[in-house]
Structure 1
Amino acid sequence: MSERIRTYSVCQWNDRSTCRRPEEPCLNTHTPECVDLLRRARLAFGAGRTLTESFRLAQMEAVVLMLEEHECEWVEALGKDLHKPRFETVLCEVTPVKNEAVHAMNNLKKWMQPQPVERNLSTTLDECRVVHEPVGVVFIRGSWCSPVQMCLVPLLGAIAAGNCAILSPSEWAAHTAELLHRLVPFYLDNECFHVILEGVNDLPEVFELKFDHIFFAGSREDGGKVAESAAHTLTPVTLIIGGKNPCYVDRECDIGTTAQRLVWARFHNAGQSLVAPGYVLCHAQVKARLVQAMKSCLIHFYGSDPRESKSFGRLINLEVFNRVKDLLWRSGKVAVGGQVVEAEKYIAPTILTEVTESDLIMHQEVFGPVLPILTVNDVDEAITFINKQEKALCVYAYSTNTKIISRLMSETSSGSFCSNDSILQSLMVTLPFGGVGASGMGSFHGRYSFDAFSHRKSCLLRSARLECVTYLRYPPYEDHNLSLIAWASTHSQRSRGWCQIM
């Protein structure tokens, strides 16, 4: 955190004596309690509880305090869910949330201010502005592969925009979900913010309660179900959808650096990431050197037996384990790794070669520590291959040739693009992050999270003056008046840059 956080009293918003206790049972959509939470949130929003800058700042600082005061518990929970090393938890889960909070707190006053817009001839003496209004009560469904970051970063955006929120962490990351369920009531306002523990199959029933915005991060299959359910109630959605993120490795690249950055990006969190490179399109001339360099990196990162490494995670559950194992055994040829231990949900960091476009692994999301490598002859073939697939959440390119990088960036379409590294663009608070086409819709992070959970209301504050101009629009209509309007509109565009007269 580069700037000092302003200090606000958290306790003024929370009566911790009335918070839910850890021993209380998980919520269930089939009970009236879930309906009651939404009712309470709507009442709090309707009372204007979330509208002030001081309230929003206090709630965002409370999120930071929740992470700092219970860091060991977050590390322990993610260790139980994903065998996640403490380093990865702090670097990829806790720190990004803190950075988002500090950025939002330092910029909130500016974001909340109305934005003036250009006026035309008839509104010269009026005020034209865009006002950012909170949408209401939002529903946030986090991803199991980044269960802290993908819950709390969008929550910060909802808070900054002045909304109430219902948070639904993934049941697959059960220990992290329970920790959120236990801690959130002790830090955030108990009427405005709530946590429910539900399975993804229960969400359509939840959405029948009608939220004002839905944020979902997860698989394409589940994202489709969420979008379908939201469509029934005309609820706007932000979807961050996983998929196959292509990575082109050019013959003009630093092989050593490329290998290190690729190996870290693909195999951190045991490959369970929405933004990790999904497959490599490697120039045929550098394939052998790249595979050897990546093998050396794997040994350096995780030792000769990654199973014994404290820096390598495990798959979330047996369902994911069996799916990844099936993809591994039915695609290409194992060049590195390939070992599996079902009892530990362990799959070694694996590199596959001799992969073809028709292999099963090229048609399913992996979410595991397996990286397929395909060969291409040049950047033209790589671009053609990428554009044949559905649009990805991320496209990566490794090359020291700036023209190659420029071509990949401009001639492919994806939610985000990063050259000579991977994943980092998804952590930048000043860059929007989201998908396009099959990889989702909408974006978040920083100001873009604030916008995602805001309604931009057009406001024209008119004066009673200048009726000598506006009278031209009134009946009885005369062609002479229409000519005057056309002349004035053309004249104003040329001389003042105004676009119309009414």
Structure 2
Amino acid sequence: MVSLAFTPLKEIPKVVQDLHDTFQSGITRPLEYRKEQLKGLHNLVQENEEAFREAAFLDSHKPPTEYMISETGTIRQECIDAIKNLDKWAAKKPIKTGLINSLDNVYTRMEPLGTVLIIGAWNYALNLLLAPAVGAIAAGNTVLLKPSEVATHTAALVTKLLPVYVDRRSIHIVNGGVAETTVLLEQKFDHIFYTGSGNVGKVIMSAAAKHLTPVTLELGGKSPAFVSADVDVNVAARRLAIAKFFNCGQSCIAPDYLIVQRGIEEELVNRMRAHIQEFYGASVQTSDSYARIVNRNHFQRLQKMLEATKGKVVVGGETQESDLFITPTLVLNVQPGDSLLDSEIFGPILPIMVVDDLKEGVAYVNKGDQPLALYVYSRNFKLADEIVDNTRSGTVVVNDSMVQFVIPDLPFGGTGPSGMGSYHGQKSFDTFSHARSTVVKGLGMDQFNNIRYPPYTEKKMSWLEWIMFSKAKYGPNKENPGAEDAKAKL
């Protein structure tokens, strides 16, 4: 295993201050500078694809195809979209006004927040570090990246390569664990972006509150998948199997448990068993397409959850700690209160709750925290709408799972305990920008302002009421129909 050098604690305040100084110097504001950094980020990933795949394999045995789909491919697409659309995203946005401001130039201007901190996660160690950075760089900020120390090889590689491709004056990395992160959080940032567990999210938010620093929290939760009796069971089983066991179940938006309408549960299990063998062969442990649990702590946590369940293991259940291997596992007839329903699983174990009516599942979901994702499998789109309308979640997919994360322009984020704020595409740019409200007035024709100056009269009040509460809304500046007649009356 490669050794990851942690950043000395005493150096961290200076690193942060240097980034603040760089931002104040103004070098990150020109759009061309931002595009150059985004091109560098893209080239970093493109030119070192094989090296990053090898690092991910050493961290968690992640298959190359999964890595391209969920990490390098997604980051490159984000960079390309940001470079292509940056001029449009950063342009001033005219605001429609009423008659009283019809001569003014009223708009919002998108401005960088300053220096931002991005704390990545180990399960998608490159994506969850660099994809948010795309938005932060595009918005003109200086960026401090904190990779996950759990994904040692990926963190070491990105630390080595990043300064070769981007300006280290504006984009820098700090490595470390709890101690280093604690010192980081003592510094003042203009925004903090964190991906990880809810418990650590609370620590991040508490630290940010001391400086009134805004945060984006991408957390997790128990994402349910509803499966109705009218579904194409084979298609649903295939899509659920790949979503659940992709990256060995270590995805924050993986289906965490199924709510299945009674009558199809046996067929669903049989179909999923067949698809697991289709994907990984008769011996999953020897498959090149199946990842591993990231470390012993997570392995032991999952093993304890599986041992404590009162449900029936109907597929899989085999484990081998020396290889950090847990086979794709289905557990049938899991009831509320079971160990597998107490907390997010984050591994290749899928509990199945069987209900007579999916409304029972809706009631169960609504008793808990809002999940990051919610899935519905059904031919009946009216039923799907009813489930979605009567639940809350960060994201929703009907008749598939996890695909929402790789759609570049679709905002991704949680709600309530599953997170706050969102990103991807233009939403990333907006997250790391301040929409600065701006009004530009001329100094001439001040007689039109007489009605708002003292001494106040009934006549002035009457005119003000007419102007302020007129139903007509006028476009910015010179697009106001009838405005000239109104001005003439004044």
Length-normalised TM-score, structure 1: 0.92
What is the CA–CA distance in structure 2 between the aligned matches of 1:169 and 1:363, rounded to whole Å?
Answer: 29
Amino acid in structure 1 at the alignment position of 2:355:
V
Check whether the contact 2:98–2:473 (CA below 8 A) recurs between aligned residues.
no
Relative to structure 1, is the Cα distance of residues 200 and 441 closer, same or farther in structure 2, using a 3 angstrom cutoff? farther
Which residue number corresponds to residue 6 of structure 2? 26
Give the RMSD, CA atoms, in angstroms: 1.9
Q: Match for residue 484 of structure 2?
A: none
1:236 aligns with one of 207, 214, 224: 214
The letter of the residue matching 2:251 is S
Counterparts of 2:125 and 2:4 in 1: how far apart (Å)?
22
480-489 or 191-200, which deviates more: 480-489
Counterpart check, 1:336 vs 2:315: yes
> Which letter does structure 1 place at the counterpart of 2:106?
C
Partner residue, 2:242: 264
What secondary structure does 2:436 align onto? strand
Q: In the alignment, which residue of structure 2 is the partner of 1:407?
A: 386
SS in 1 for 2:404: helix
The corresponding residue for 1:4 is: none
Seen in structure 2, the aligned counterparts of structure 1 residues 52 and 495 have a Cα distance that, compared at 3 Å, is closer
C-alpha distance in structure 1 between counterparts of 2:359 and 2:317, whole Å = 32
Aligned pair 1:425/2:410, yes or no? no
The reply on whether 1:290 has 2:246 as its aligned counterpart is no
Counterpart residue number, 2:327 = 348
2:431 aligned residue: 452
> Which shifted more, 111-120 or 194-203?
194-203
Between 1:408-417 and 1:229-238, the stretch displaced more is 408-417
Structure 2 match to 1:468: 447
Deviation track 1:420-454 (CA, whole Å, cap 9, x = no partner) reads: 11111111111100000110000000000000000
Match of 1:40 among 14, 18, 24: 18
Question: Where does 1:65-104 land on structure 2 (aligned, <5 Å)?
Answer: 65-104=43-82
* Unaligned runs of at least 5 residues, structure 1: 1-21
1:207 paired with 2:189, answer no
Once the two structures are superposed, the pairs formed by residues 83-482 of structure 1 within 5 Å of their partners are 83-200=61-178, 202-331=180-309, 332-482=311-461
Aligned length: 477
State the alpha-carbon separation in 2 of the partners of residues 304 and 92 from structure 1.
26
What is the CA–CA distance in structure 2 between the aligned matches of 1:231 and 1:204, rounded to whole Å? 14
Deviation at 1:146, TM superposition (A): 0.6
290-299 or 192-201, which deviates more: 192-201
Instruction: Decide whether aligned partners of structure 1 residues 23 and 80 sit closer, same or farther in structure 2, where only a CA change above 3 A counts.
Output: closer
Query: Is 1:53 the equivalent of 2:70?
Result: no
Shift of 1:464: 2.3
1:139 is matched by which residue type in structure 2?
L
Identical amino acids, percent of aligned pairs: 36
Query: 2:40 corresponds to which residue?
Result: 62
Structure 1 contact 129–460 (Cα < 8 Å) conserved: yes
Whether the aligned pair in 2 keeps the contact of 1:122 and 1:466 (CA below 8 Å) is: no
Distance 1:409 1:60 in 2: 37
Q: 3-state SS of the aligned residue for 2:372? A: strand
* CA shift for structure 1 position 222: 1.0
Cα separation, 1, equivalents of 2:230 and 2:240: 16
Conservation of the 8 A alpha-carbon contact between 1:247 and 1:277:
yes
Whole-Å separation in 1 of the counterparts to 2:192 and 2:378: 38
Comparing 437-446 with 464-473, which one deviates more in the overlay? Answer: 464-473
Query: Contact (CA 8 Å) 2:225, 2:257: kept in 1 or not?
Result: yes
Q: Secondary structure at the match of 2:299?
A: helix
CA distance in 2, matches of 1:471, 1:316: 70
Structure 1 residue 480: deviation in Å? 3.8
The alpha-carbon deviation at position 161 of structure 1 amounts to 0.4
Letter in 2 for 1:343: S
What is the Cα deviation at residue 471 of structure 1? 2.1
Q: Is the 8 A contact 2:314 2:332 kept in 1?
A: yes
Q: Is the 1:115–1:131 Cα contact (8 Å) retained in structure 2?
A: yes
Are residues 428 and 24 of structure 1, via their aligned partners in 2, closer, same or farther at CA, if it must alter by over 3 Å? closer
Pair 346,495 (structure 1): closer, same or farther in 2 beyond 3 Å? closer
Residue number in structure 2 paired with 1:3? none
Compared CA separation, residues 129 and 446, structure 1 to 2 (3 A):
same
Q: Secondary structure at the match of 2:97?
A: coil
Q: Which has the higher contact order (CA 8 A, sep 6+)?
A: 2
After superposition, give the CA deviation of every residue in 1:192-235 in whole Å (9 maximum; x if it has no partner): 00111121454232121101100000111111111111111111
Structure 2: segments with no counterpart, 5+ residues? 481-486
The TM-score with structure 2 as length reference comes to 0.94
Worse-matched range after superposition: 460-469 or 349-358: 460-469
